[in-house]
């Protein structure tokens, strides 16, 4: 750090301290390579994405565009959760090791802490206050709850918020189109983390902040300066469209075309998992009403409802609102955003969520309003940092800090003790009482000028870290990497069968989950995936005798409840995995084995009626009058022909399987001779960006059998190539490349101009 000024050295040391703090919080996965984060969504969803992307490079040497392992195939670039454009997660392309999940979350926690520190400094906090604000926001109980839930995309996107706010602050303070471009680029980088919902809320939050900032600045700077700031900020927001074009363009377009949500959501969907008033006890202690985490209270989804700043920061927030004298406008803005986000996060139990859902376009597209508590934590952390930064100035108004610093801990301690005696023991109930007692004592000594400012701030930071550290360790569920992926007899059998030809299988998650399937290159008809297309969702529900699935979370069914096996035939489902309790399954028992855990007997049934992956059928017909296409599909003979929505076609070739070669997961070629013509049916989920050529000449690719791929061919020799080409993604890449190049050139030019002006002076 030789050559740096004192202030810069202090900043570097604080950033290093924050990195050490985050390392301490993640020590269980950073220092133990045999352990990894393995909770809820990580094994249920994210690890499957990583295995698919890794196999795309390892097996085929192509960029991952198409996921063939679930739902008869699905676009990767048209879905945000795979985070295929997120640079840190490209490490999974080299190795799909689950150890990387802990490292990537540590990376974002550290980067987020640094951003929060710099933003708090920009807002007037001293180094100690900014450090406290960073710790409170990044390592609060809300973050710990979603860490337990395995919400990699939510946490990574949310922890980018301080950098977005810092870029917004800079463009508002000194308006320029270059600074606006930096704001758009920052939003674009955050969007690649994978959560459309959080990015949408980031836009709303930063817009609300900018509106309040401009309103406050209008009184002091006047209309011309306010107008320039507003124009530069608007330009920055709009520049996001070009910087993030390969991300938002395919996602928005394919959502509008295919997603189940494109059919419309309602207020009940948006307000689902709304916090109850009893959940507000989490402000006091995160373990209120939550069983020990070893019991995994998944049904309550407590992470969606919890908000825990830490007991010490909670005691400081009222003091900041009541007593802060420096940067009063900043305190008012932060307090307003804290209250606004808190009321919105209450969802159906608050006064503002209904109004926002009706007035703000797109607000009803997303559920789980409790995630808005992240913004409460952000604004509240800033208030804590601002209050701690005032130091000795607070001593002149010592009454209110003492009241808020002593009365609130007393209420908290009394509530905890009362809850424990009437209900059941609360984990670590002694900790908040000890911490608040120590905080109150330190605050009284500070107010009496016995304890210096810097020691009081250091004590507050230490107490907050101790508090949140305990919360994190109880919410951080790790697993031994050695036992994560076991090769069962079923997996070994199915892998051997896969060498003979492609097929899909249907299995309860308890026997074979989608992560294991993706790791082995197997394809399953089902699984968990929020981005499922509406038409495939219809097919999935039609399979079963009864189904209550929502549009984002599919219920796990037992094979004995299959109602329409013809859909499984169309899906190329050749094998069913079941337990002995499943009765009357369509198929022949191919294997029976005993599991290592529990000694349960499980069976694999082979379905000889399943259609091959590629085949030709005689014709494409319309459904009978008055019969819906989906109902007609459920009762059709898939070997006699296929069903279309319009323009029937008649060839005459008898049904037969067709040989094919794969060039990648999203490309295949079949060569065959047709005597009378027919329809080539590919058991692959239809997508508007599938393309087809016959001997190099483009041919029309049609949607057949409700949601599969078909090509009508005439008699003669054919060399039919079918591949997925997401033109919206490629167009977005070109637009983004040009935009990032312009931003880089403008940045270099601005730096050179600044150096020239510095030399001239």
Number of domains the chain is built from = 2
Could you tell me if 489 and 602 lie in one domain?
yes
pLDDT over 60 (residue 475): yes
Query: 170-190: per-residue pLDDT in tens?
Result: 999 999 999 999 999 999 999
Could you tell me if 492 and 586 lie in one domain?
yes
Lowest mean pLDDT, pick from 25-29, 536-540, 677-681: 536-540
Lowest mean pLDDT, pick from 20-29, 48-57, 168-177, 417-426: 417-426
Which pLDDT band holds residue 225 (cuts at 50, 70, 90)?
confident
CA atoms within 13 A on the CB side of 287: 26
Could you tell me if 498 and 596 lie in one domain?
yes
Compute the average pLDDT of residues 437-448. 83
Please calculate the CA angle 40-41-46 and round it to the nearest 5 degrees.
140
CA–CA separation, 224 and 230 (whole Å): 10
Neighbours of 699 (CB within 10 A): 18
Could you tell me if 601 and 618 lie in one domain?
no
Compute the average pLDDT of residues 430-457. 84
Torsion 543-706-730-61 (CA) sign: positive
Instruction: Please report whether residue 504 resides in a domain.
Output: yes
Which pLDDT band holds residue 68 (cuts at 50, 70, 90)?
very high
Which pLDDT band holds residue 294 (cuts at 50, 70, 90)?
very low
Instruction: Please report whether residue 84 resides in a domain.
Output: no
Neighbours of 761 (CB within 10 A): 5
- Nearest to residue 681, comparing CAs of 629, 621, 634? 621
Characterize 469-507 residue by residue with b for buried, 16 or more Cβ atoms within 10 angstroms of its Cβ, and e for exposed: bbbbebbbbebebeeeeeebebbeebeebeeeebbbbbb
Q: Tokens in use for 723?
A: 């591949």
Torsion 367-552-305-205 (CA) sign: negative
Instruction: Please report whether residue 758 resides in a domain.
Output: no
- Nearest to residue 649, comparing CAs of 596, 704, 724? 704
Final residue before a domain boundary, out of 561, 582, 606: 606
Instruction: Please report whether residue 705 resides in a domain.
Output: yes
Lowest mean pLDDT, pick from 289-298, 591-600, 716-725: 289-298
Residue 273 main-chain phi, psi, to 5 deg: 65, 30
CA–CA separation, 478 and 35 (whole Å): 6
Final residue before a domain boundary, out of 555, 577, 606: 606
Query: 69-82: per-residue pLDDT in tens?
Result: 988 999 999 999 99
Instruction: Please report whether residue 71 resides in a domain.
Output: no
| Domain of 690, in residue numbers | 614-724
Could you tell me if 621 and 595 lie in one domain?
no
Could you tell me if 573 and 664 lie in one domain?
no
Compute the average pLDDT of residues 353-366. 93
User: How much is the pLDDT for 742?
Assistant: 94
pLDDT over 60 (residue 144): yes
Q: In terms of C-beta density within 10 A (0-12 exposed, 13-18 middle, 19 or more buried), how is residue 637 classed?
A: exposed
Q: Answer yes or no: are the C-beta atoms of 684 and 72 closer than 8 Å.
A: yes
Final residue before a domain boundary, out of 551, 580, 606: 606
CA–CA separation, 60 and 56 (whole Å): 5
C-alpha distances in angstroms, 521 versus 350, 494, 569? 47, 10, 20
CA–CA separation, 170 and 673 (whole Å): 66
Query: 305-352: per-residue pLDDT in tens?
Result: 889 988 889 888 888 887 766 778 888 999 999 999 999 999 999 989
Instruction: Please report whether residue 131 resides in a domain.
Output: no
CA–CA separation, 225 and 174 (whole Å): 9
Higher per-residue confidence, 400 vs 532: 532
pLDDT over 50 (residue 379): yes
Instruction: Please report whether residue 213 resides in a domain.
Output: no
Predicted TM-score of the model (pTM): 0.94
Which pLDDT band holds residue 540 (cuts at 50, 70, 90)?
confident
Could you tell me if 701 and 677 lie in one domain?
yes
Compute the average pLDDT of residues 202-207. 97
Please calculate the CA angle 466-467-473 and round it to the nearest 5 degrees.
85
Q: Tokens in use for 72?
A: 């008869």
Compute the average pLDDT of residues 650-664. 94
pLDDT over 70 (residue 134): yes
C-alpha distances in angstroms, 245 versus 183, 189, 507, 730? 15, 11, 37, 9
Could you tell me if 576 and 620 lie in one domain?
no
Q: Tokens in use for 390?
A: 């005032």
Could you tell me if 652 and 622 lie in one domain?
yes
Which pLDDT band holds residue 292 (cuts at 50, 70, 90)?
very low
Q: Say what the alpha-carbon torsion angle 229, 234, 239, 245 is, to the nearest 10 degrees.
A: 160
User: How much is the pLDDT for 761?
Assistant: 63
Q: Answer yes or no: are the C-beta atoms of 587 and 607 closer than 8 Å.
A: yes
Neighbours of 287 (CB within 10 A): 25
User: How much is the pLDDT for 296?
Assistant: 44
Instruction: Please report whether residue 413 resides in a domain.
Output: no
Could you tell me if 599 and 632 lie in one domain?
no
Name 179's Cβ contacts closer than 8 Å, sequence gap at least 6: 167, 170, 171, 232, 236
Residue 681: beta bridge partners? 615, 710
Average pLDDT, the chain: 88
CA–CA separation, 66 and 78 (whole Å): 9
User: How much is the pLDDT for 394?
Assistant: 61
Compute the average pLDDT of residues 135-144. 94
pLDDT over 60 (residue 680): yes
Higher per-residue confidence, 508 vs 155: 155
Could you tell me if 706 and 624 lie in one domain?
yes
Characterize 724-746 residue by residue with b for buried, 16 or more Cβ atoms within 10 angstroms of its Cβ, and e for exposed: bebebbbebeebbeebeeebeee
User: How much is the pLDDT for 490?
Assistant: 85
Could you tell me if 518 and 551 lie in one domain?
yes
């Amino acid at each position: 750090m030789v050559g740096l000024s004192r202030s810069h050295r202090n900043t570097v040391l604080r950033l290093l301290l924050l990195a050490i703090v985050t390392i301490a919080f993640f020590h269980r996965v950073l220092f133990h390579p045999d352990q990894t984060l393995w909770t809820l969504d990580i094994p249920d969803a994210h690890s499957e994405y990583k295995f698919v992307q890794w196999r795309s490079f390892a097996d085929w040497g192509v960029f991952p565009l198409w996921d063939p392992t679930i739902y008869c195939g699905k676009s990767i670039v048209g879905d945000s959760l795979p985070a295929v454009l997120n640079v840190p997660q490209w490490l999974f392309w080299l190795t799909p090791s689950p150890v990387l999940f802990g490292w990537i979350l540590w990376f974002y926690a550290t980067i987020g802490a640094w951003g929060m520190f710099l933003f708090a400094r920009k807002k007037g906090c001293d180094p100690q206050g900014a450090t406290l604000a960073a710790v409170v926001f990044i390592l609060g109980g809300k973050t710990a709850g979603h860490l337990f839930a395995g919400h990699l995309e939510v946490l990574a996107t949310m922890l980018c918020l301080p950098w977005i706010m810092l870029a917004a602050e800079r463009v508002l303070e000194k308006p320029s189109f270059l600074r606006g471009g930096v704001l758009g680029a920052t939003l674009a980088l955050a969007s690649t983390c994978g959560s459309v919902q959080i990015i949408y809320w980031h836009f709303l939050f930063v817009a609300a902040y900018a509106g309040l900032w401009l309103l406050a600045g209008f009184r002091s700077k006047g209309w011309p300066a306010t107008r320039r700031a507003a124009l530069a900020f608007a330009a920055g927001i709009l520049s996001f469209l070009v910087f993030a074009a390969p991300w938002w363009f395919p996602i928005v377009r394919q959502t509008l075309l295919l997603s189940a949500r494109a059919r419309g959501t309602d207020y009940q969907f948006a307000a689902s998992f709304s916090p109850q008033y009893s959940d507000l006890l989490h402000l006091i202690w995160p373990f209120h009403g939550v069983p020990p985490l070893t019991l995994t209270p998944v049904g309550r989804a407590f992470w969606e409802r919890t908000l825990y700043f830490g007991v010490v920061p909670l005691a400081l927030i009222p003091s900041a609102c009541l007593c802060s004298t420096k940067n009063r406008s900043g305190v008012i803005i932060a307090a307003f955003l804290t209250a606004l986000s808190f009321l919105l996060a209450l969802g159906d139990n608050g006064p503002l969520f209904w109004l926002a859902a009706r007035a703000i376009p797109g607000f009803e597209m997303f559920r789980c309003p409790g995630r808005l508590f992240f913004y409460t934590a952000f604004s509240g952390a800033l208030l804590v940092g601002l209050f701690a930064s005032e130091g000795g100035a607070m001593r002149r108004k010592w009454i209110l800090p003492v009241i808020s610093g002593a009365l609130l801990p007393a209420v908290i301690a009394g509530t905890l003790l009362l809850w424990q005696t009437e209900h059941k023991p609360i984990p670590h109930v002694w900790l908040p009482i000890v911490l608040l007692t120590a905080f109150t004592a330190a605050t009284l000594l500070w107010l009496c000028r016995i304890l210096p400012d810097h020691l009081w701030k250091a004590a507050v930071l230490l107490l907050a870290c101790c508090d949140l550290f305990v919360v994190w360790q109880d919410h951080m569920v790790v697993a031994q990497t050695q036992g994560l992926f076991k090769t069962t007899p079923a997996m070994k059998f199915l892998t051997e069968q896969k060498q003979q030809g492609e097929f899909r299988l249907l299995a309860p998650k308890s026997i074979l989950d989608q992560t294991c399937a993706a790791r082995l290159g197997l394809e399953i008809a089902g699984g968990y995936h929020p981005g499922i297309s509406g038409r495939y969702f219809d097919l999935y529900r039609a399979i079963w005798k009864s189904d209550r699935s929502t549009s984002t979370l599919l219920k796990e069914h037992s094979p004995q409840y299959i109602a329409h096996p013809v859909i499984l035939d169309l899906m190329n489902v050749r094998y069913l995995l079941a337990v002995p309790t499943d009765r009357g399954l369509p198929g022949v028992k191919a294997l029976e084995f005993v599991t290592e855990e529990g000694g349960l007997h499980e069976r694999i049934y082979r379905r000889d009626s399943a259609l091959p992956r590629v085949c030709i059928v005689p014709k494409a017909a319309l459904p009978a009058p008055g019969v819906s296409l989906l109902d007609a599909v459920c009762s059709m003979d898939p070997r006699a022909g296929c069903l279309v929505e319009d323009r029937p076609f008649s060839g005459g070739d008898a049904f037969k399987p067709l040989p094919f070669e794969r060039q990648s997961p999203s490309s295949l070629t079949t060569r065959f001779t047709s005597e009378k013509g027919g329809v080539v049916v590919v058991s692959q989920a239809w997508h508007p960006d599938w393309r087809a050529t016959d001997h190099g000449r483009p041919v029309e690719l049609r949607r057949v059998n409700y949601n599969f791929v078909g090509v009508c061919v005439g008699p003669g020799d054919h060399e039919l190539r079918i591949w997925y080409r997401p033109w919206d993604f490629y167009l977005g890449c070109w637009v983004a490349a040009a935009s990032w190049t312009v931003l880089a050139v403008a940045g270099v030019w601005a730096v050179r101009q600044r150096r020239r002006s510095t030399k001239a002076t």
